[in-house]
Chain A
Amino acid sequence: MKTIYSIMKREMNGYFGSPVAYVFIVIFLILCGFFTFQFGDFYNSNDASLRTFFVWHPWLYLFLIPAVAMRMWAEERRTRTIELLLTLPVTLPQAILGKFLAGWLFIGIALALTFPMVITVCYLGDPDIGQIVAGYVGSFLLAGCYLSVGSFASSLTRNQVVAFIICLVICLFFVVAGWAPVTDALASSVPLSVANFIASLSFMYRFDSVQRGVIDTRDLIYYASVITFMLAASSVVLTSRKAS
């Protein structure tokens, strides 16, 4: 536990020690605001909720989280620091978890900095606080899923750009599998049960249900299993390829 914490702390300092972290946070906040007010038409919706705010998150994360995750393992392998890290009294799962938690916490901080949205909506109307909390929880869990995919993508290569693209493509699949235009197209070409199964794998499907303000156990299990699976996959890849 203490080892995981030490690794997490180091990664965290790594994020904030470089300009990347600040650039990421600023871009994330600007885009959040831009999408919510411009495309979401927040004011004219006449709705005291953050629905128009959260609805953009899966798309924002699609580009921003691969950028956070890409260096996670690719850089360790490129600079060979992985050799020193894994010959310390550290197990591979501890290292993977430490890095993952650091990235997740970092995104959590960026997400927490969107609090002016909450203040705005509370000032303008009388929103359902429970729904807003559920929205944040859902968004944070979604970010965890993207990040775990990023961990896996980053373990596959020494090249950060390649890691970025692999992560983006896998995440894109998970997103569009539940996106209305795609599900409609699927429903008309394959049996409904297959179409439903594919849609149920999607991040969007789960994300929508949480945004309605209900945190269902099934959704939590879904998020937990995606993260666990992707981190385990990172471990398998790193075990076999760390030396190459």
Chain B
Amino acid sequence: MIQVQHLIKLFGSFRAVDDVTFEVQKGEVLGFLGPNGAGKSTTMRMLTGFFPPTSGTAKIMGFDIIKESLEAKRQIGYLPENAPVYPDMTVEGYLKFIAEVRGFSGQELKKKVARAVEICSLEKVLPQTVDTLSKGYKQRVCFAQAILPDPPVLILDEPTDGLDPNQKFEVRRMISSMAENKCVILSTHILEEVDAVCTRAIIIANGKIVANGSPEELKRRSSLYEAVTFSLDSVPKDEAVSAVSALANVAKVEVLKENEGSLTLRALPAAGSVIAPAVAEEIRRRGWISTQFHVEEGRLDEVFRNITRQ
């Protein structure tokens, strides 16, 4: 469990992290979202003990990051941004080094290394030096290093940055497979990632938390939430727009696309209302032919932009 209390970090007079408070429970995967320079990495570096906060503190599995720094560090597997792994070491040598520093030896060390290698599918590159590896493999070596001691807390800074779609999928799969009995914090600016792996998301901008909730809750803040997108065949545009606009709780109707004989419209609901059944009923009543009918879940990228662009 991670408890972060009023964390502040100043660089000179610049408030990189400004009074951040949150908690992560076991089994949660917390997505840390925010524009570049919002304070995501700075927060993670404080949690992992790379540098101390200016004020405030955090507890990692009950260990204070300032007073019990070494114990706190033992609880964490950390994947820093850009996967900084010693370029002149072999993958095997590197993982053994990590295991040794983590306090393993003998058979246990071998087992831990073997397990990390298996989870991250590194068998093929074990004797290679890190600087000969592709970006995807390098990222995986660094990921292997983070999970090697099987820590209760994983902190991953942009774990899928710079990977191709297949590699991204692989890394997300690894994270999800381990999430069940761990606390995971991962930072990203890829919003689909939040949908794919996170149980909760925090949006941070200018060092402050501006939103904290499950991906569904965040999407509900979108103006598109519960909007209905539908297409109609051979219905005059004006007739369709005025009919749908007249329905209760429909705030606005937009024409998205207009082709010969085919029309794509989007009806936006008044805040907090549901209009899909009414729209569907109207289409049926008028005998229109609708080839597509889709209720929007709300879009994270829109919420993200609205919140972080103030």
Q: CB within 8 Å of B: which residues of A?
A: 2-3, 6-7, 9-10, 13-14, 17-18, 79-84, 86-91, 242-243
Q: Quick one: given A13-B93, A81-B86, A242-B51, are A87 and B101 in contact (CB under 8 Å)?
A: no
Residues of B close to A18: CB separation below 8 A: 88
Expressed in whole angstroms, the Cα–Cα distance for A201 and B98 within the complex equals: 41
A91 lies within 8 A of B45 (CB): no
Smallest Cβ-Cβ distance to B51: which chain A residue: A243
Give the total of B residues in contact with A, Cβ under 8 Å.
28
A-B contact pairs, 18 of them (CB 8 A): A2-B100, A2-B103, A10-B86, A10-B89, A13-B93, A80-B84, A81-B85, A82-B84, A83-B50, A84-B80, A84-B84, A84-B145, A87-B45, A87-B49, A87-B76, A88-B73, A89-B73, A89-B101
Expressed in whole angstroms, the Cα–Cα distance for A79 and B82 within the complex equals: 10
**Separation in Å of the B22 CB from the closest CB of chain A?**
20
Expressed in whole angstroms, the Cα–Cα distance for A2 and B100 within the complex equals: 8
Q: Quick one: given A10-B97, A14-B88, A243-B45, are A87 and B50 in contact (CB under 8 Å)?
A: yes
A90 lies within 8 A of B101 (CB): yes
Q: Quick one: given A10-B97, A13-B93, A242-B51, are A87 and B80 in contact (CB under 8 Å)?
A: yes
**Separation in Å of the A217 CB from the closest CB of chain B?**
35
Q: Which of A7, A9, A79 has the most CB of B within 10 A?
A: A79
Residues of A close to B93: CB separation below 8 A: 13
A86 lies within 8 A of B97 (CB): no
Expressed in whole angstroms, the Cα–Cα distance for A79 and B86 within the complex equals: 8
**Separation in Å of the B185 CB from the closest CB of chain A?**
14
Residues of B close to A87: CB separation below 8 A: 45, 48-50, 73, 76, 78, 80
Residues of B close to A81: CB separation below 8 A: 84-86
B87 within 8 A of A: yes
B50 lies within 8 A of A88 (CB): no
Q: CB within 8 Å of A: which residues of B?
A: 45, 48-51, 69-70, 73-74, 76, 78, 80, 82, 84-89, 93, 97-98, 100-103, 142, 145
Expressed in whole angstroms, the Cα–Cα distance for A87 and B156 within the complex equals: 13
One of A6, A84, A242 near B100 (C-beta < 8 A)? A6
**Separation in Å of the B113 CB from the closest CB of chain A?**
14
A7 lies within 8 A of B101 (CB): yes
List 15 additional A-B contacts (Cβ < 8 Å) besides A17-B88, A84-B85, A87-B80.
A6-B100, A9-B100, A13-B93, A14-B88, A17-B89, A81-B84, A81-B85, A83-B80, A84-B142, A87-B73, A87-B78, A89-B73, A89-B101, A91-B70, A243-B50
**Separation in Å of the A31 CB from the closest CB of chain B?**
26
Expressed in whole angstroms, the Cα–Cα distance for A88 and B88 within the complex equals: 19
Residues of B close to A242: CB separation below 8 A: 50-51
Expressed in whole angstroms, the Cα–Cα distance for A18 and B88 within the complex equals: 8
Residues of A close to B49: CB separation below 8 A: 86-87
Q: Quick one: given A2-B103, A86-B50, A87-B48, are A79 and B84 in contact (CB under 8 Å)?
A: yes
B102 lies within 8 A of A88 (CB): yes
A3 lies within 8 A of B101 (CB): yes
Expressed in whole angstroms, the Cα–Cα distance for A90 and B49 within the complex equals: 10
Smallest Cβ-Cβ distance to B42: which chain A residue: A243
Smallest Cβ-Cβ distance to B48: which chain A residue: A87
Residues of A close to B50: CB separation below 8 A: 83, 86-87, 242-243
Residues of B close to A86: CB separation below 8 A: 49-50
Residues of A close to B101: CB separation below 8 A: 3, 6-7, 88-90
Residues of A close to B89: CB separation below 8 A: 10, 13-14, 17
A83 lies within 8 A of B84 (CB): yes
Expressed in whole angstroms, the Cα–Cα distance for A83 and B103 within the complex equals: 19
**Separation in Å of the B256 CB from the closest CB of chain A?**
46
Residues of B close to A80: CB separation below 8 A: 80, 82, 84
Please name the 7 residue pairs, one residue from A and one from B, whose CB atoms are nearest each other, closest first.
A80-B84, A87-B48, A6-B100, A89-B73, A81-B84, A89-B74, A83-B80
Smallest Cβ-Cβ distance to A13: which chain B residue: B93
Expressed in whole angstroms, the Cα–Cα distance for A222 and B48 within the complex equals: 38
**Separation in Å of the A80 CB from the closest CB of chain B?**
4
Residues of A close to B100: CB separation below 8 A: 2, 6, 9
**Separation in Å of the A14 CB from the closest CB of chain B?**
6
Residues of B close to A14: CB separation below 8 A: 86, 88-89
**Separation in Å of the B186 CB from the closest CB of chain A?**
16
Expressed in whole angstroms, the Cα–Cα distance for A155 and B69 within the complex equals: 22
**Separation in Å of the A135 CB from the closest CB of chain B?**
35
Residues of B close to A79: CB separation below 8 A: 84, 86-87
Residues of B close to A90: CB separation below 8 A: 73, 101
Expressed in whole angstroms, the Cα–Cα distance for A13 and B70 within the complex equals: 26
Expressed in whole angstroms, the Cα–Cα distance for A242 and B48 within the complex equals: 14
**Separation in Å of the A23 CB from the closest CB of chain B?**
15
